[in-house]
């Protein structure tokens, strides 16, 4: 029976996440978990030097040994990045017993969640999944979206977040706040950032009573490569 997945973004900041394995795949998972603010524990008899360095810097807890039952106590999720089929099964079974989300890399039947292909641009996070059908296609789609959503989106969303803070504090009716935010979402603010049109951006914000926003927000230098296209 095919699995049907419920897409969700998890808050794992300061939550214990266990990675079983110490190779290249485990390394990628460890860095992703650290980026999400997780408290990461790595269990493996041998690990890459990069993981050793993370442990020395206090960014991960490293236990250089084989996995044993009980290692998942207190964990919010676990990723098994090992080719040992017996360990894979044991990790999955313990995770199921404890009600912990588990991903055994490249073994869908031993996963209670799968990791999508990700495009990140500051606060923007786009997740792509083929529900395990074709990971290579998910990778290709990610590459297409990376070209479609440039680095300007990171600046854009940070600015829009600042604008929202200002609008919500304005002494105007709630309905007017929503209308203003919707109007600004449709305004060409992204293009102003992408092509360095600071003058137009200032004019738009001034017309909305938000001139003060840019005094507290530093815009990057114009994207010259974008201007040439």
Domain segments of the chain: what residues?
A: 16-115, 116-148, 152-228
pTM (two decimals): 0.82
Q: How many CB atoms lie within 10 A of CB 100?
A: 21
Residue 78 near residue 95, CB atoms below 8 Å: yes
Identify the CATH number of the domain defined by range 116-148.
3.30.160
Tell me which fold the domain 16-115 belongs to: Rossmann fold (3.40.50)
Residue range 178-215, pLDDT digits in tens: 999 999 999 999 999 999 999 999 999 999 999 899 88
Q: What share of the chain is helix, strand, coil (3-state, %, to 5)?
A: 45, 15, 40
Residue 4: which pLDDT band, with cuts at 50, 70 and 90?
confident
């Amino acid at each position: 029976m095919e699995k049907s997945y419920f897409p969700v973004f998890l808050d794992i900041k300061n939550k214990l996440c266990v990675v079983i394995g110490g190779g290249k795949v485990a390394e990628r998972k460890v860095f992703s978990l650290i980026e999400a603010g997780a408290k990461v524990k790595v269990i493996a008899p041998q690990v890459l030097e990069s993981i050793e360095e993370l442990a020395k810097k206090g960014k991960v807890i490293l236990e250089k040994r084989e996995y044993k039952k009980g290692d998942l106590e207190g964990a919010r999720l676990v990723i098994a990045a090992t080719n040992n089929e017996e360990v894979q099964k044991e990790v999955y079974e313990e995770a199921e017993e404890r009600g912990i989300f588990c991903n055994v890399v490249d073994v869908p039947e031993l996963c209670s969640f799968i990791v999508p292909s990700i495009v990140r641009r500051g606060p923007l996070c786009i997740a792509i999944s083929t529900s395990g059908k074709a990971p290579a296609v998910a990778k290709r789609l990610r590459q297409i979206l990376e070209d479609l959503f440039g680095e300007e989106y990171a600046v854009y969303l940070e600015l829009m977040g600042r604008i929202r803070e200002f609008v919500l504090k304005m002494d105007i009716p709630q309905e007017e706040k929503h209308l203003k935010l919707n109007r600004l979402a449709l305004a060409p603010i992204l293009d102003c950032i992408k092509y360095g049109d600071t003058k137009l951006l200032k004019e738009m914000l001034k017309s909305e009573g938000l001139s003060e926003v840019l005094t507290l927000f530093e815009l990057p230098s114009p994207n010259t490569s974008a201007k040439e296209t």
